[in-house]
Amino acid sequence: MSDNLATLFSSEQLAERVTVLGAEISEAYANQKLVLVCVLKGSFVFTADLARVIDERVNLRIEFLGVQSYGEGTESTGVVQITQDLTKSIEDEHVLIVEDIVDTGLTISHLLELFKTRKPASVKVCSLLHKPARTRIDVPIDYLGFTIEDHFVVGYGLDWAQRYRNLPFIGVVDNE
Ligand code: 5GP
């Protein structure tokens, strides 16, 4: 069975915005070490594209953090479970958490608290999308791709019950 998908951001629009974010991050962390933390699974595509537009002035290392905040549904349970931890310490390191979307803010807020206990030099947040209509906790987003309305979006790494992560664009499922 396939759903109707309306394109919200085309792959060209995504590439253009990600390039701008990469330039900003390159400038901010030039001549420094940076740990890019890809929050799995949703941000794997965004992180892969973002990493390739952060230039060689940044001494970059990439870590993966497995997080599960939803079951098979589309509502946050409010419970954030770490399913896979970082492989190396982040003590005294500059850290940039890369998220696909900040929705209620619960996941990022939990990760910021967790990371602070590990004594990094700094922790900042980069999110491709932000859905302010659903905020439950205000979290700082230092680098943001796009602000969106209250739609459930898929594609470019984002899933619906594990499906659609492979779409090269961001779409809204529209079965009306
Ligand atoms: P938060 O904890 O901010 O409510 O949610 C963060 C996580 O929920 C995101 O990393 C993402 O995995 C999931 N999420 C929130 N909104 C959406 C959405 O519109 N589409 C999809 N596919 N996942 C979402």
> What dihedral do alpha carbons 34, 38, 44, 49 form, nearest 10°?
-20
- Mutate which of 9, 70, 103 for ligand 1? The one with the most ligand atoms within 8 Å of its CB, which is 103
Average model confidence (pLDDT) across the chain: 93
Taking residues 65-89, report their average pLDDT: 78
Q: Measured in angstroms, how far is the CA atom of residue 101 from the centroid of ligand 1?
A: 5
The residue nearest atom 11 of ligand 1, judged by CA position, is 101
For residues 133 and 147, is the Cβ–Cβ distance under 8 A? no
Cα gap 71→61, rounded to integer Å: 30
* Active-site residue identified among 55, 85, 92, 103: 103
pLDDT of residue 176: 57
Residue 1: the pLDDT is: 58
Structure tokens at 96: 């940039």
- For ligand 1, the distance from its centroid to the CA atom of residue 19, given in whole angstroms, is 23
Q: Which domains does the chain have, with CATH numbers?
A: 11-149 (3.40.50.2020)
Torsion of CA 14, 20, 21, 24, to 10 degrees: 180
Q: At 4, is the pLDDT very low, low, confident or very high (cuts 50, 70, 90)?
A: confident
Q: pLDDT tens for residues 10-21? A: 999 999 999 999
pTM tops 0.85: yes
